[in-house]
Structure 1
Amino acid sequence: MSSRPSRTARTIAGALVASTAALLAAGLPHPAAAATPPAPSGKPSAHATAAVLDLDGTGRTTVVRGADRAYDTASIVKVDILAALLLQAQDAGRPLSKTERDLAEPMIRRSDNAAADALWRRIGRASGLAAANERLGLTSTTGGPGGRWGLTRTTASDQIRLLRAVFDSGGTVRRGSGGLDAESRARMRSLMSRVVSGQTWGVSAAGDPGSRPVLKNGWLRRSATGRWDVNSVGEITARGHRYLVAVLSDGNASMGDGISLVERTARAAL
């Protein structure tokens, strides 16, 4: 299969490379205040890992393709931030406030970074994320330093654990313990099913044609190398089964290359 990005991927990449928001996805300095990243050089060094769980299968075992090592999350951590926020609201015995709802929606649907900044602070940054992840069963995710939520580190298998907390049936939920309740899971699924059209690439490429994408993507150009982290996580429907799929990648020469790698890897993993 050709590694050349599709016309859609190139269009998306061109628009987002020019966007300040794309470069702020990890809470990095504004480009006007930072050195210009060097252009990627040498042979391509991109890597990707995929993890898949068949929700309708009998084994219910996560299958990992590639080395299950840690990658930068970029904006896929916004799913985790929302999960932490919802757990904290559950523990307080309250629904999300209007302000929290007004921040959560653009954070997931448009990958709005300012909204993520505000909610990252509200959950208690890395320590709040860690507390939520312990309850949700994540074992290999470490929150980014300070305000840099996009530099959270995670593995593909840990992202499947997070997706299970959102898309699988919930267990016993009590205040201060247990996972996301039915209302919280429904809110997260709803937002992930309504991401803006320019951000529906990624794991959706492995789904049945015409099926509705339910996902969250992340992209970040690292200033030290000029190369891109490109990630995608979500639920897809393929051949009559529901699958949870997480694809993480780094070292991409461009965002378009990263999108192509993520989509090829998702298809191969299925």
Structure 2
Amino acid sequence: MVLATVLAILSVPASADADAHRDGDRHPCADVSAAPFVDRDRISSVHRDAVDCLWHLGIVRGSVTADGRRRFDPTAAVDRGQFAGMLHRLLDVTGRADRLPEPRRPRFDDVPAGHTFDREVHTLASAGVIEGVDGRSFAPGRLVRRDQTASLLRRAARWATGDELLATSGPLFHDIVGSVHRDAIEAAFEFGLVDGVAYPCGDGGGRYEPLRSLQRQQAASVLARAIGTLDAIEAGEVERRKPDPECPSPVWVPRIDAAVDYAEGRTGSISFAVIGTDGQLVGHRASTQVAAVSVIKVMFLVAYLDHPDVRDRPLTADDRDLLEPMIRRSANEPGTRIADMVGPEGMNALAERAGMRDFHFTRPWGNSRTSARDQARFMLAFDRYVPSRHRDYARQLLTQVVPEQRWGIGQVATDGWTKHFKGGWGPGTGSVDHQVVLLRHHDGTRVALSVMTTGSPSHEYGKATLEGLFRRLLADLPRT
């Protein structure tokens, strides 16, 4: 069947992995080897360890390509049948599946005998973990949303532990008010089963994005976390996550009219893109393609830290000697070395992972094409494409641009927000002056901006344009 080809979720004997899980104190995925997926490099570094974990446990196997290799397709959406299969296997390998009841009868009409997920769907339905869309249908091919995932996990935890997960704080996320899944989302967040997109701080200003489909890599993270969480609930040792009442989440929807008016009165071509706390991108000529010049060096930084020769080891003095001049004072030679190392395939693959629409890598690398919207999207989450062991280093490095290059955004006060930014310019002529920036609030809230200018009369004029635009775009940014 097609489902089996798309995501073959194979059972493993509970007597092996489940016993190891019950008898050992360590997480069953501690120190596992890398999953052998040909597209493992496309898995976000946020989720890569979880995918390796579920591969090790036999919960996911991916699809098999025509030449016999395994492929994971990390950003593909998970459907209801696939998630039921993965959830059943998780209960199996953690030693809980032997307590599941007999499969539901009669079967759902759309999950007949012989269906890829017949046993998993009907067993979990009998246990009350999953439900049909009506009395006779399950809709196994319908995509799973983030809000539904929270309800599925909450019911699974109730069945596995005997405890009803109840939230003791809230509201948490502004975009789940009125949702039938709100109680499940808030409880699952408190117990560490799901995460929000913007972290809540006690004022209900967090963001969950409940209607987004669940990607395969996200499903892996959710299920890998559930292994430890279910054990902690059963042992009475779970630590609930609580929003901090002293850090109200800032809400900022950028107003761009003043920036557009300013841009239209300046010499040269100007484009910009801004992503506020609501996650929506707004801008002015934001899809205009321009030469990337040195703003591409943030992508070089990410590609280098995520390179197979670097991602799984500590950084050396040689690594730092390569990266720090490239970011702090925009040295070009390290960029060329990284471009040679990563190649067009690596750079274009990173752009694809980041959802860039206008990026095209070329040599010389400064002529690579990009856009303001591409760079704003990338900066908003650039560190999430960096392996966790190198993430703090990458973020910190982008706060250390040398004083003589801290023009534009560097001259705009953003109290309460940390600036992570990089500039790019031509040979001091004003032909190109760009800046890209991630602003991180102390509670974890993020906004991103990208300003691209070409054709300024001089470099000094271009720098003044950047500063003028950032001042107008950030005029009403909450400063707390």
Mark yes or no: TM-score above 0.5: yes
Q: CA–CA distance in 2 between the matches of 1:66 and 1:268?
A: 17
C-alpha distance 216-112 of structure 1, shift in aligned 2 (>3 A)? same
2:369 corresponds to: 153
Instruction: Give the conservation status (yes or no) of the 8 Å contact 1:235–1:242.
Output: yes
**Percent sequence identity over matched residues?**
29
Decide which of 436, 439, 460 is 1:233's aligned counterpart.
436
Pair 195,67 (structure 1): closer, same or farther in 2 beyond 3 Å: closer
* C-alpha displacement of 1:243: 2.6
Distance 1:137 1:66, change over 3 A: closer
Which residue pairs with 2:393 in the alignment? Answer: 187
* CA RMSD after TM alignment: 2.7
Aligned to 2:464: 260
CA distance in 1, matches of 2:281, 2:447: 10
Aligned partner letter, 1:194 = Q
Find the partner of 2:380 among 139, 161, 164.
Answer: 164
TM-score (norm 1): 0.68
Paired AA for residue 282 in structure 2: V
Alignment-derived partner of residue 357 in structure 2: 139
Three-state SS of the structure 2 residue aligned to 1:218 is strand
Q: By percentage of residues, which structure has more strand? A: 1
Deviations 1:20-56 (A, max 9, x none): xxxxxxxxxxxxxxxxxxxxxxxx85111121112xx
Cα pair distance change 1:205/1:116, threshold 3 Å: same
Matched, 1:201 2:411: no
CA deviations on 1:173-210 (whole Å, 9 max, x unpaired) are xxxxxx33333332221111011111111223444369
Q: Residue in 2 aligned with 1:243?
A: 447
Task: Determine the C-alpha separation between the residues in 2 that align with 1:86 and 1:237.
Answer: 21
Give the counterpart letter for 2:421 in structure 1.
L
Q: Which residue of 2 aligns with 1:60?
A: 279
Distance 1:199 1:139 in 2: 29
- TM-score normalized with structure 2 length: 0.40
State how far apart, in whole Å, the 1-side matches of 2:464 and 2:454 are. Answer: 12
Which amino acid is 1:187 matched to? Y
Deviation >3 Å, runs of 4+: 89-98, 204-207, 209-213
Q: Distance in 1 between matches of 2:376 and 2:309?
A: 22
Once the two structures are superposed, what CA deviation does each residue of 1:208-237 show, in whole Å capped at 9, x if it has no partner? Answer: 369754211111049xxx651000111236
Gaps of 5+ in 1: 1-43, 171-178
Q: Kindly indicate whether the alpha-carbon contact (under 8 Å) linking 2:430 and 2:461 is maintained by their aligned counterparts in 1.
A: no
Q: Which runs of 5+ in 2 are unaligned?
A: 1-265, 475-480
Could you say if the C-alpha distance between residues 255 and 267 of structure 1 is closer, same or farther in structure 2, counting changes exceeding 3 Å? same
1:97 positional shift: 4.8
**Aligned counterpart, 1:121:** 340
Larger RCO, structures 1/2 (Cα 8 Å, 6+ apart): 1
Alpha-carbon separation, structure 2, partners of 1:115 and 1:192: 16
User: Which residue of 2 is the match for residue 69 of structure 1?
Assistant: 288
Going from structure 1 to structure 2, the CA distance change for 1:91 and 1:209 (only over 3 Å counts) comes to closer
